[in-house]
Amino acid sequence: MELTVNELAKQLKAELIGEGSGLIRSVGPLGAANQAAVTFVTGDKFLNELKQSRAGAVLVVKPVVPDKIGATPQLVVKNVNAALIEALKIFAPKLQPAIPGVHPAAVVAQQVKLGKNVSIGPCAVIETGVEIGDNTIIASGCKIGQNTKIGVNTRLDSNVAVYHNCVIGNSCIILANTTIGSTGFGYYFIDGAHRLIPHNGIVVIEDFVEIGANCCVDRAKFGETRIGAGTKIDNLVQIAHNVIIGKCCLIAGQSGMGGSVKIGDGVVLAGAVGIIDNIEIGDAAIVGARSFVIKSIEPGMHVLGSPSIEHKEALRVWAGTQRLPKLMEQVKELSARVEKLETAKNNSGPGRS
C-alpha cells in the first residue's frame, strides 16, 4: 500500500499542515520512521525527537510550530492513538484472507452447524454438536470439542484446543496453542489416593475477549469459569476452574489465578501476577507486576509486592528492604551506645550520687 500524505490525511480525516505530495508506505516510531513512513507524537516531550526524525509525516493532536519540527508534514487528528491504529491497518502487510468453507483436510462431524463464511482450516477437528457463527475462522490444527458454541466474527488461531460444551462469544480472538475448557486441578484424597473431581461445568468467554498464545482456561467444577466482555489476556496465563473475570480487564503475560478467584470490571494485572484461590479483586483495581495476592483487594486499589500491599507502601517496603543490611548495622551500633550509657549510669548510680 502506498498513499500520498494528502490521501492519508483524507483517509484519517486529518487536517494536513505542510506539503502533501510525499509518498507513505508504512508506520514507524519517531526514531525508526524513514521518509516513506508516517510517525506519531503523543506529547510535547517528544517534540525534540520529532525534530530529528526523518519521517515523511507525523500524527499530532494539535499543530506544532513548524520550526520545531522542520518541514515534516503534520496530520492533525482528534486522537493520535485512534489515528495510529487506522494508519497501521492501512499499511498492514497484505495477506491472503482465510478461505471460507471447510478445508478438505479438516475433520468436521455430521451434527455441526456452521454459519455463513465460516472458515475451517486444514487438520482442524470439529466434533459433534458444535455450532460456529458467521465469519468465524477456525485455523489449522484446532480442536473444537462436542457441543461447544462459538459466535460470529471470532478467530481461533492454529492448534487451539477447546474442550466440550464451552461457549465462546462474538468477535473474540484466541492465539495459537491455547487450551480452553481443560479439567481443573481439583482432587479429593480418598482411601490413599488423589481422586479427580469430575468437572461438570464449562467455560464461557464473552464477546470481544482476546486471549494470547499458550494460555490455559480450565472449565468449572460446577457452573462456569467466565471471562467478561472486552477483557484482554496476554500469553501463558493460567485461569483456574470457576474463576470469574469481569469486563474490560487487562491481564498481562504469565499471570495465574487460583480456583474461584473473582475479578471485577476494568481490573489490570500487570504481568506475572499470582492470585491464590477464592480471592476477590474489586472493580478497577490495579495489581503491579509480579505481585502475589493473598488478600482480597478493594475496588480502585493499586497494590504491589509479594504479598501485595498498597502500591506506595510497597515501594517504601522495597526501599526499606534494600536498606536492611545498613539498618542492621545501625541497630548494632545503637545497641553498643546504649550499653555504654548503661555502664556509665551504673558507675555513677544512686549508691554513689
Query: Which residue among 3, 24, 56, 143 contacts its own copies (CB under 8 A)?
Result: 143
Q: How far apart are CA 244 and CA 203, in angstroms?
A: 10
The CA-atom distances, in angstroms, between 120 and each of 108, 113, 124, 127, 134 are 9, 12, 7, 12, 12
Shortest distance in whole angstroms from residue 67 CB to its own copies: 27
Based on the residue annotation, tell me whether 199 is a catalytic residue of this protein. Answer: no
- The answer to the question of residue 107 lying near its own copies (CB under 8 A) is yes
Does residue 141 contact residue 124 with C-beta atoms inside 8 Å? yes
> Of 294-323, which residues contact its own copies (CB under 8 A)?
294, 306-307, 309, 313, 316-323
- The answer to the question of residue 1 lying near its own copies (CB under 8 A) is no
* Residue 1, number of CB atoms within 10 A of its CB: 12
Shortest distance in whole angstroms from residue 119 CB to its own copies: 13
- The answer to the question of residue 276 lying near its own copies (CB under 8 A) is yes
Q: Is 196 left (phi over 0), alpha (psi -120 to 50) or beta?
A: beta
Span of 9-17, 53-61, 69-77, 88-96 interacting with its own copies by CB under 8 A:
88-96
Shortest distance in whole angstroms from residue 147 CB to its own copies: 8
Shortest distance in whole angstroms from residue 26 CB to its own copies: 7
Rank residues 15 and 333 by Cβ distance to its own copies and give the closer one.
333
Q: How far apart are CA 176 and CA 119, in angstroms?
A: 16
> What one-character-per-residue DSSP string does 48-68 give?
HHHHH---SEEEESS---HHH
- The answer to the question of residue 65 lying near its own copies (CB under 8 A) is no
Q: How far apart are CA 323 and CA 66, in angstroms?
A: 50
Here the cell at position 230 is: 472486552
Here the cell at position 112 is: 455441526
> Of 30-49, which residues contact its own copies (CB under 8 A)?
32
Query: Which residue among 6, 11, 235, 296 contacts its own copies (CB under 8 A)?
Result: 235
- The answer to the question of residue 330 lying near its own copies (CB under 8 A) is yes
> Of 185-224, which residues contact its own copies (CB under 8 A)?
185, 187-188, 190, 193-198, 200, 208, 210, 212-216, 218, 221-223
Q: What number of CA atoms fall less than 13 Å from residue 313's CA on the CB side?
A: 8
- The answer to the question of residue 236 lying near its own copies (CB under 8 A) is yes
Does residue 280 contact residue 262 with C-beta atoms inside 8 Å? yes
* β-bridge mates for residue 225, sequence order: 203
Rank residues 35 and 128 by Cβ distance to its own copies and give the closer one.
128
Q: How far apart are CA 275 and CA 258, in angstroms?
A: 6
Catalytic residue from among 199, 241, 302, 311: 241
Does residue 175 contact residue 156 with C-beta atoms inside 8 Å? no
Shortest distance in whole angstroms from residue 65 CB to its own copies: 26
- The answer to the question of residue 151 lying near its own copies (CB under 8 A) is no
Residues labelled catalytic: 241
